[in-house]
Protein backbone atom coordinates (compact mmCIF):
# COMPACT_ATOMS: atom_id res chain seq x y z
CA UNK A 1 0.00 0.00 0.00
CA UNK A 2 1.30 3.45 -0.88
CA UNK A 3 1.01 6.48 1.37
CA UNK A 4 -1.19 8.07 -1.28
CA UNK A 5 -3.61 5.14 -0.97
CA UNK A 6 -3.83 5.89 2.72
CA UNK A 7 -4.22 9.64 2.24
CA UNK A 8 -7.05 9.03 -0.24
CA UNK A 9 -8.71 6.86 2.43
CA UNK A 10 -8.50 3.67 0.35
CA UNK A 11 -6.94 0.26 0.76
CA UNK A 12 -5.88 -1.50 -2.47
CA UNK A 13 -9.09 -2.67 -4.12
CA UNK A 14 -11.09 0.28 -2.82
CA UNK A 15 -11.66 -0.84 0.79
CA UNK A 16 -11.70 2.09 3.25
CA UNK A 17 -8.60 2.37 5.41
CA UNK A 18 -9.09 2.97 9.13
CA UNK A 19 -8.47 6.40 10.62
CA UNK A 20 -5.75 4.94 12.83
CA UNK A 21 -3.88 3.42 9.87
CA UNK A 22 -4.14 6.61 7.83
CA UNK A 23 -2.71 8.68 10.67
CA UNK A 24 -0.03 6.14 11.56
CA UNK A 25 1.32 6.41 8.03
CA UNK A 26 2.50 9.97 8.48
CA UNK A 27 2.43 11.07 12.12
CA UNK A 28 5.63 11.11 14.14
CA UNK A 29 3.54 10.11 17.17
CA UNK A 30 1.07 7.52 15.78
CA UNK A 31 -0.28 6.61 19.20
CA UNK A 32 -2.64 9.23 20.63
CA UNK A 33 -1.75 10.78 23.95
CA UNK A 34 -5.37 11.56 24.80
CA UNK A 35 -8.90 11.45 23.37
CA UNK A 36 -11.75 13.92 22.95
CA UNK A 37 -15.22 12.48 23.33
CA UNK A 38 -17.88 13.55 20.80
CA UNK A 39 -21.05 11.62 21.53
CA UNK A 40 -20.05 7.96 21.45
CA UNK A 41 -16.92 8.64 19.38
CA UNK A 42 -13.44 9.09 20.88
CA UNK A 43 -11.28 11.43 18.76
CA UNK A 44 -7.54 10.72 19.12
CA UNK A 45 -5.36 13.63 20.24
CA UNK A 46 -1.76 13.54 19.00
CA UNK A 47 0.99 15.75 20.41
CA UNK A 48 4.37 16.21 18.72
CA UNK A 49 6.58 18.43 16.59
CA UNK A 50 4.70 17.90 13.33
CA UNK A 51 5.59 21.11 11.51
CA UNK A 52 8.67 23.05 12.58
CA UNK A 53 11.46 24.98 10.84
CA UNK A 54 13.76 22.07 11.71
CA UNK A 55 11.82 19.75 9.43
CA UNK A 56 11.59 22.00 6.37
CA UNK A 57 12.93 25.47 5.68
CA UNK A 58 10.14 27.66 4.36
CA UNK A 59 10.45 29.66 1.15
CA UNK A 60 11.66 33.25 1.58
CA UNK A 61 8.55 34.25 -0.38
CA UNK A 62 6.57 33.81 2.85
CA UNK A 63 8.46 36.51 4.75
CA UNK A 64 5.63 39.04 4.69
CA UNK A 65 4.48 40.10 8.15
CA UNK A 66 0.83 39.82 9.14
CA UNK A 67 -0.85 39.56 12.53
CA UNK A 68 -2.13 36.19 13.73
CA UNK A 69 -0.77 34.14 10.81
CA UNK A 70 0.54 30.60 11.04
CA UNK A 71 3.95 29.46 9.82
CA UNK A 72 4.12 28.03 6.26
CA UNK A 73 5.39 24.70 7.61
CA UNK A 74 1.86 24.08 8.91
CA UNK A 75 0.00 24.09 5.56
CA UNK A 76 3.03 22.43 3.94
CA UNK A 77 2.60 19.47 6.32
CA UNK A 78 -0.94 18.82 5.09
CA UNK A 79 -0.48 19.85 1.43
CA UNK A 80 2.42 17.43 1.09
CA UNK A 81 0.54 14.53 2.65
CA UNK A 82 -3.08 15.01 1.60
CA UNK A 83 -2.88 16.38 -1.97
CA UNK A 84 -1.19 15.74 -5.29
CA UNK A 85 -0.18 18.11 -8.09
CA UNK A 86 -3.17 19.82 -9.64
CA UNK A 87 -5.43 19.40 -6.60
CA UNK A 88 -7.39 22.42 -5.38
CA UNK A 89 -6.40 23.89 -2.00
CA UNK A 90 -8.59 26.45 -0.23
CA UNK A 91 -8.38 28.88 2.70
CA UNK A 92 -11.63 30.62 3.73
CA UNK A 93 -9.86 32.92 6.25
CA UNK A 94 -6.80 33.58 4.14
CA UNK A 95 -4.99 36.40 5.99
CA UNK A 96 -1.64 37.06 4.32
CA UNK A 97 -2.14 34.08 1.97
CA UNK A 98 0.21 31.55 3.55
CA UNK A 99 -1.86 28.51 2.51
CA UNK A 100 -2.29 29.76 -1.06
CA UNK A 101 1.38 30.62 -1.58
CA UNK A 102 2.55 27.30 -0.12
CA UNK A 103 0.05 25.36 -2.22
CA UNK A 104 1.10 27.21 -5.38
CA UNK A 105 4.76 26.46 -4.68
CA UNK A 106 3.71 22.77 -4.63
CA UNK A 107 1.94 23.11 -8.02
CA UNK A 108 -1.57 23.00 -6.58
CA UNK A 109 -4.51 25.15 -7.67
CA UNK A 110 -5.65 27.70 -5.11
CA UNK A 111 -8.66 29.62 -3.87
CA UNK A 112 -8.41 32.25 -1.15
CA UNK A 113 -11.20 34.03 0.65
CA UNK A 114 -11.04 36.87 3.15
CA UNK A 115 -13.34 39.83 3.78
CA UNK A 116 -10.17 41.89 4.27
CA UNK A 117 -8.94 43.09 0.84
CA UNK A 118 -5.38 43.14 2.22
CA UNK A 119 -5.41 39.38 1.60
CA UNK A 120 -5.40 39.81 -2.17
CA UNK A 121 -2.87 42.65 -1.91
CA UNK A 122 -0.48 40.28 -0.11
CA UNK A 123 -1.27 37.07 -2.03
CA UNK A 124 -1.73 37.83 -5.73
CA UNK A 125 1.70 39.44 -6.30
CA UNK A 126 3.48 36.45 -4.77
CA UNK A 127 1.90 34.14 -7.33
CA UNK A 128 2.76 36.47 -10.24
CA UNK A 129 6.33 37.29 -9.05
CA UNK A 130 7.75 39.81 -11.54
CA UNK A 131 11.48 39.72 -12.24
CA UNK A 132 13.78 41.99 -10.24
CA UNK A 133 14.85 44.06 -13.25
CA UNK A 134 11.22 45.00 -13.98
CA UNK A 135 10.74 46.04 -10.35
CA UNK A 136 13.90 48.16 -10.40
CA UNK A 137 12.94 49.87 -13.66
CA UNK A 138 9.39 50.60 -12.50
CA UNK A 139 10.56 52.11 -9.22
CA UNK A 140 12.78 54.53 -11.16
CA UNK A 141 9.83 55.76 -13.25
CA UNK A 142 7.60 56.71 -10.29
CA UNK A 143 7.76 60.47 -9.85
CA UNK A 144 8.41 61.76 -6.33
CA UNK A 145 6.72 65.07 -5.52
CA UNK A 146 9.00 66.93 -3.13
CA UNK A 147 7.33 68.25 0.03
CA UNK A 148 4.00 66.51 -0.51
CA UNK A 149 2.27 65.40 2.71
CA UNK A 150 -0.31 62.83 3.67
CA UNK A 151 -3.90 63.74 4.43
CA UNK A 152 -3.27 62.78 8.08
CA UNK A 153 -0.41 63.49 10.47
CA UNK A 154 2.32 60.88 10.02
CA UNK A 155 5.20 62.99 11.29
CA UNK A 156 5.72 60.73 14.31
CA UNK A 157 6.50 57.81 11.96
CA UNK A 158 8.31 59.25 8.93
CA UNK A 159 10.94 61.82 8.00
CA UNK A 160 9.35 64.52 5.77
CA UNK A 161 11.29 63.33 2.71
CA UNK A 162 10.29 59.72 3.38
CA UNK A 163 6.67 60.79 3.77
CA UNK A 164 6.82 62.57 0.40
CA UNK A 165 8.06 59.35 -1.23
CA UNK A 166 5.34 57.26 0.44
CA UNK A 167 2.56 59.67 -0.54
CA UNK A 168 3.89 59.94 -4.11
CA UNK A 169 3.93 56.13 -4.40
CA UNK A 170 0.45 55.89 -2.88
CA UNK A 171 -0.93 58.44 -5.35
CA UNK A 172 0.73 56.61 -8.24
CA UNK A 173 -0.82 53.28 -7.22
CA UNK A 174 -4.27 54.82 -6.67
CA UNK A 175 -4.10 56.37 -10.14
CA UNK A 176 -2.94 53.17 -11.83
CA UNK A 177 -5.78 51.22 -10.20
CA UNK A 178 -8.37 53.86 -11.14
CA UNK A 179 -7.16 53.80 -14.74
CA UNK A 180 -7.24 49.95 -14.79
CA UNK A 181 -3.58 50.04 -15.83
CA UNK A 182 -2.14 48.40 -12.71
CA UNK A 183 -0.04 45.38 -13.68
CA UNK A 184 1.87 42.63 -11.87
CA UNK A 185 4.87 44.91 -11.23
CA UNK A 186 2.65 47.58 -9.64
CA UNK A 187 0.93 44.94 -7.52
CA UNK A 188 4.27 43.60 -6.34
CA UNK A 189 5.51 47.09 -5.42
CA UNK A 190 2.24 47.75 -3.57
CA UNK A 191 2.60 44.53 -1.60
CA UNK A 192 6.21 45.16 -0.58
CA UNK A 193 5.62 48.83 0.28
CA UNK A 194 2.61 47.86 2.41
CA UNK A 195 4.83 45.41 4.27
CA UNK A 196 7.64 47.96 4.76
CA UNK A 197 5.59 50.86 6.16
CA UNK A 198 6.45 50.45 9.83
CA UNK A 199 8.74 48.17 11.82
CA UNK A 200 11.59 47.96 14.26
CA UNK A 201 14.67 48.14 12.04
CA UNK A 202 16.18 50.37 9.35
CA UNK A 203 14.73 48.01 6.76
CA UNK A 204 11.38 49.76 7.23
CA UNK A 205 10.24 53.22 6.17
CA UNK A 206 9.47 54.33 9.72
CA UNK A 207 11.31 55.24 12.86
CA UNK A 208 11.64 52.39 15.40
CA UNK A 209 8.14 51.21 16.31
CA UNK A 210 6.09 48.05 16.89
CA UNK A 211 6.78 44.95 14.78
CA UNK A 212 5.41 45.30 11.22
CA UNK A 213 2.33 43.17 11.86
CA UNK A 214 1.07 45.72 14.39
CA UNK A 215 0.73 49.42 13.59
CA UNK A 216 1.02 51.67 16.62
CA UNK A 217 -1.48 54.51 16.84
CA UNK A 218 -0.16 58.01 16.20
CA UNK A 219 -0.59 58.79 19.90
CA UNK A 220 1.31 55.68 21.03
CA UNK A 221 4.07 56.26 18.49
CA UNK A 222 4.56 59.78 19.86
CA UNK A 223 5.02 58.25 23.31
CA UNK A 224 7.48 55.67 21.94
CA UNK A 225 9.51 58.46 20.33
CA UNK A 226 9.59 60.41 23.58
CA UNK A 227 10.57 57.37 25.61
CA UNK A 228 13.39 56.42 23.22
CA UNK A 229 14.35 60.04 22.51
CA UNK A 230 14.15 59.43 18.75
CA UNK A 231 13.05 61.34 15.69
CA UNK A 232 12.33 59.80 12.27
CA UNK A 233 15.36 59.53 9.99
CA UNK A 234 15.21 59.56 6.19
CA UNK A 235 14.63 56.19 4.53
CA UNK A 236 15.15 55.60 0.81
CA UNK A 237 11.85 53.85 0.09
CA UNK A 238 12.71 52.73 -3.42
CA UNK A 239 15.93 51.11 -2.28
CA UNK A 240 14.16 49.36 0.59
CA UNK A 241 11.42 48.07 -1.71
CA UNK A 242 13.99 46.67 -4.11
CA UNK A 243 16.08 45.09 -1.34
CA UNK A 244 13.02 43.44 0.20
CA UNK A 245 12.00 42.20 -3.26
CA UNK A 246 15.41 40.58 -3.66
CA UNK A 247 15.14 38.94 -0.28
CA UNK A 248 11.62 37.60 -0.92
CA UNK A 249 12.67 36.01 -4.20
CA UNK A 250 16.09 34.81 -3.06
CA UNK A 251 15.18 31.14 -2.49
CA UNK A 252 12.87 30.66 -5.49
CA UNK A 253 13.86 28.00 -8.00
CA UNK A 254 12.83 28.10 -11.65
CA UNK A 255 10.46 25.20 -10.99
CA UNK A 256 8.80 27.10 -8.14
CA UNK A 257 8.45 30.20 -10.30
CA UNK A 258 6.76 28.11 -12.98
CA UNK A 259 4.46 26.52 -10.38
CA UNK A 260 3.48 29.95 -9.02
CA UNK A 261 2.71 31.29 -12.49
CA UNK A 262 0.62 28.24 -13.30
CA UNK A 263 -1.37 28.68 -10.07
CA UNK A 264 -1.83 32.40 -10.78
CA UNK A 265 -3.63 31.63 -14.06
CA UNK A 266 -6.51 29.85 -12.31
CA UNK A 267 -6.35 31.36 -8.80
CA UNK A 268 -9.62 32.63 -7.39
CA UNK A 269 -9.51 35.52 -4.89
CA UNK A 270 -12.78 35.97 -3.00
CA UNK A 271 -13.84 38.63 -0.50
CA UNK A 272 -17.01 36.91 0.67
CA UNK A 273 -18.30 35.74 3.99
CA UNK A 274 -16.89 32.26 4.58
CA UNK A 275 -20.44 31.01 5.07
CA UNK A 276 -21.44 31.86 1.49
CA UNK A 277 -18.91 31.24 -1.27
CA UNK A 278 -21.16 30.49 -4.25
CA UNK A 279 -18.24 31.07 -6.65
CA UNK A 280 -16.69 27.78 -5.48
CA UNK A 281 -17.93 24.69 -7.34
CA UNK A 282 -19.51 22.02 -5.10
CA UNK A 283 -17.26 19.04 -4.28
CA UNK A 284 -14.18 20.64 -5.86
CA UNK A 285 -11.76 21.26 -2.96
CA UNK A 286 -9.33 18.51 -2.01
CA UNK A 287 -7.89 20.28 1.06
CA UNK A 288 -8.77 23.27 3.19
CA UNK A 289 -6.13 24.62 5.58
CA UNK A 290 -7.31 27.60 7.57
CA UNK A 291 -7.27 29.51 10.83
CA UNK A 292 -10.35 31.60 11.67
CA UNK A 293 -10.44 34.73 13.85
CA UNK A 294 -10.17 33.58 17.47
CA UNK A 295 -13.04 35.32 19.20
CA UNK A 296 -11.94 38.94 19.88
CA UNK A 297 -8.24 38.23 20.45
CA UNK A 298 -6.87 40.28 17.51
CA UNK A 299 -8.03 43.81 16.73
CA UNK A 300 -7.65 43.99 12.96
CA UNK A 301 -8.59 47.66 12.46
CA UNK A 302 -6.07 48.80 15.08
CA UNK A 303 -3.30 46.63 13.66
CA UNK A 304 -3.87 47.49 9.99
CA UNK A 305 -5.00 51.14 9.99
CA UNK A 306 -1.82 52.42 8.32
CA UNK A 307 -1.73 49.63 5.75
CA UNK A 308 -5.36 50.38 4.92
CA UNK A 309 -4.62 54.10 4.56
CA UNK A 310 -1.77 53.39 2.14
CA UNK A 311 -4.06 51.21 0.03
CA UNK A 312 -6.99 53.65 0.16
CA UNK A 313 -9.12 51.26 2.24
CA UNK A 314 -11.46 51.91 5.18
CA UNK A 315 -10.07 49.94 8.16
CA UNK A 316 -13.19 50.37 10.28
CA UNK A 317 -15.48 49.20 7.49
CA UNK A 318 -13.33 46.10 7.00
CA UNK A 319 -13.20 45.39 10.73
CA UNK A 320 -17.00 45.32 10.94
CA UNK A 321 -17.07 42.47 8.42
CA UNK A 322 -14.59 40.30 10.33
CA UNK A 323 -15.95 37.70 12.77
CA UNK A 324 -15.07 39.20 16.15
CA UNK A 325 -17.23 37.51 18.80
CA UNK A 326 -16.91 37.97 22.54
CA UNK A 327 -19.23 35.08 23.37
CA UNK A 328 -18.26 31.48 22.60
CA UNK A 329 -21.79 30.60 21.54
CA UNK A 330 -21.85 33.44 18.98
CA UNK A 331 -18.49 32.36 17.54
CA UNK A 332 -19.64 28.73 17.41
CA UNK A 333 -22.81 29.76 15.59
CA UNK A 334 -20.79 31.42 12.83
CA UNK A 335 -18.27 28.56 12.60
CA UNK A 336 -21.10 26.02 12.34
CA UNK A 337 -22.31 27.78 9.20
CA UNK A 338 -18.73 27.89 7.89
CA UNK A 339 -18.46 24.11 8.26
CA UNK A 340 -21.72 23.69 6.38
CA UNK A 341 -20.23 25.62 3.46
CA UNK A 342 -16.93 23.73 3.69
CA UNK A 343 -18.80 20.45 3.47
CA UNK A 344 -20.52 21.67 0.29
CA UNK A 345 -17.25 22.56 -1.48
CA UNK A 346 -15.10 19.64 -0.24
CA UNK A 347 -14.58 16.61 -2.47
CA UNK A 348 -15.38 13.11 -1.32
CA UNK A 349 -12.18 11.87 0.36
CA UNK A 350 -11.17 15.52 0.80
CA UNK A 351 -9.86 17.06 3.99
CA UNK A 352 -10.16 20.09 6.26
CA UNK A 353 -7.33 21.09 8.60
CA UNK A 354 -8.85 23.68 10.94
CA UNK A 355 -6.34 25.49 13.14
CA UNK A 356 -7.56 26.82 16.47
CA UNK A 357 -5.88 27.82 19.72
CA UNK A 358 -6.15 28.26 23.43
CA UNK A 359 -7.62 31.61 24.40
CA UNK A 360 -8.87 33.31 27.58
CA UNK A 361 -5.91 32.24 29.75
CA UNK A 362 -6.09 28.72 28.35
CA UNK A 363 -9.57 28.22 29.80
CA UNK A 364 -11.14 27.94 26.34
CA UNK A 365 -9.88 25.18 24.05
CA UNK A 366 -11.52 25.88 20.73
CA UNK A 367 -10.89 22.37 19.38
CA UNK A 368 -13.52 21.17 21.82
CA UNK A 369 -15.96 23.60 20.21
CA UNK A 370 -14.89 23.01 16.60
CA UNK A 371 -14.83 19.20 16.50
CA UNK A 372 -18.60 18.76 17.10
CA UNK A 373 -19.38 21.56 14.63
CA UNK A 374 -17.58 19.73 11.83
CA UNK A 375 -19.26 16.46 12.70
CA UNK A 376 -22.69 18.12 12.73
CA UNK A 377 -21.95 19.45 9.21
CA UNK A 378 -21.31 15.90 7.95
CA UNK A 379 -17.52 15.51 8.27
CA UNK A 380 -15.64 12.73 10.01
CA UNK A 381 -13.40 14.13 12.76
CA UNK A 382 -10.23 12.08 12.35
CA UNK A 383 -7.86 13.59 14.90
CA UNK A 384 -6.66 16.58 16.83
CA UNK A 385 -3.00 17.45 16.28
CA UNK A 386 -1.22 19.67 18.80
CA UNK A 387 2.14 20.98 17.66
CA UNK A 388 4.36 21.12 20.72
CA UNK A 389 7.12 23.35 19.33
CA UNK A 390 8.11 26.11 21.72
CA UNK A 391 8.31 29.58 20.20
CA UNK A 392 8.22 33.21 21.31
CA UNK A 393 5.46 35.46 20.10
CA UNK A 394 6.09 39.13 19.39
CA UNK A 395 3.47 39.87 22.04
CA UNK A 396 5.97 38.85 24.72
CA UNK A 397 8.42 41.48 23.51
CA UNK A 398 5.88 44.17 24.29
CA UNK A 399 4.86 42.85 27.70
CA UNK A 400 1.77 40.95 26.56
CA UNK A 401 2.05 37.35 27.71
CA UNK A 402 0.98 34.49 25.48
CA UNK A 403 -1.53 32.96 27.83
CA UNK A 404 -3.31 36.25 28.45
CA UNK A 405 -3.83 37.71 24.99
CA UNK A 406 -2.64 35.20 22.42
CA UNK A 407 -2.74 31.61 21.31
CA UNK A 408 -0.69 29.10 23.23
CA UNK A 409 -0.04 26.48 20.53
CA UNK A 410 -0.97 25.30 17.05
CA UNK A 411 -3.94 23.01 17.48
CA UNK A 412 -5.40 21.42 14.34
CA UNK A 413 -8.72 19.64 14.15
CA UNK A 414 -8.52 17.31 11.16
CA UNK A 415 -11.69 16.38 9.27
CA UNK A 416 -12.41 14.25 6.21
CA UNK A 417 -15.44 13.91 3.93
CA UNK A 418 -16.27 10.28 3.28
- Residue 187 near residue 204 (C-beta atoms within 8 A): no
Residue 224 confidence class, pLDDT cut points 50, 70, 90: very high
| Mean pLDDT value of segment 243-247 | 98
Residue 402 confidence class, pLDDT cut points 50, 70, 90: very low
pLDDT at 408 over 80: no
DSSP tag of 204: S
CB atoms within 10 A of CB 133: 8
- Residue 269 near residue 112 (C-beta atoms within 8 A): yes
First vs last C-alpha separation in the chain: 20
| Mean pLDDT value of segment 344-368 | 84
- 48/87: higher pLDDT: 87
What pLDDT is stored for residue 387 in this prediction? 82
Give CA–CA dist 169/148, Å, rounded.
Answer: 11
Give CA–CA dist 213/350, Å, rounded.
Answer: 33
Mapped onto helix, strand or coil, the DSSP state of residue 412 is strand
Q: Which residues of 190-212 are buried (b: 16+ CB within 10 A; e: fewer)?
A: bbbbbbbbbbeeeebbbbbbbbb
Q: Judge residue 275's burial from the number of C-beta atoms within 10 Å of its C-beta, 0-12 exposed, 13-18 middle, 19 or more buried.
A: middle
Over the stretch 161-191, which tens digit does the pLDDT of each residue have? Answer: 999 999 999 999 999 999 999 999 999 999 9
Over the stretch 46-62, which tens digit does the pLDDT of each residue have? Answer: 888 887 655 568 899 99
Residue ranges and CATH numbers for the domains of the chain are: 3-117+255-416 (3.40.50.150), 130-247 (no CATH)
The radius of gyration of the chain's CA atoms, rounded to the nearest angstrom, is 22
Report the chain's mean pLDDT, rounded to a whole number: 86
Q: Quick one: what percent of the chain has pLDDT higher than 90?
A: 64
Range from 118-122, 344-348, 353-357, 394-398 carrying the lowest mean pLDDT: 394-398
| Mean pLDDT value of segment 322-342 | 87
pLDDT at 393 over 60: no
Amino acid sequence: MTQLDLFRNQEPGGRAASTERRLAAWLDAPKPTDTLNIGNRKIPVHVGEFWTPKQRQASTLHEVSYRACFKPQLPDFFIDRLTIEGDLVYDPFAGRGTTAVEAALHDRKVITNDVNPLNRIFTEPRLEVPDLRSIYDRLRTIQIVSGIKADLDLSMFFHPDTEAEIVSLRNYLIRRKAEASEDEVDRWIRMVATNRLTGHSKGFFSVYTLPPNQAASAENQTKINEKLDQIPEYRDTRRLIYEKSRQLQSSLTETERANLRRAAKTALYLMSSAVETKEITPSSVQLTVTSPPFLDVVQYADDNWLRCWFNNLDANEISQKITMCKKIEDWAGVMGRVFGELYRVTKRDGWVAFEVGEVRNGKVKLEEIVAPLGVDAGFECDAILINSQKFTKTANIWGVHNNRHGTNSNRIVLFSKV
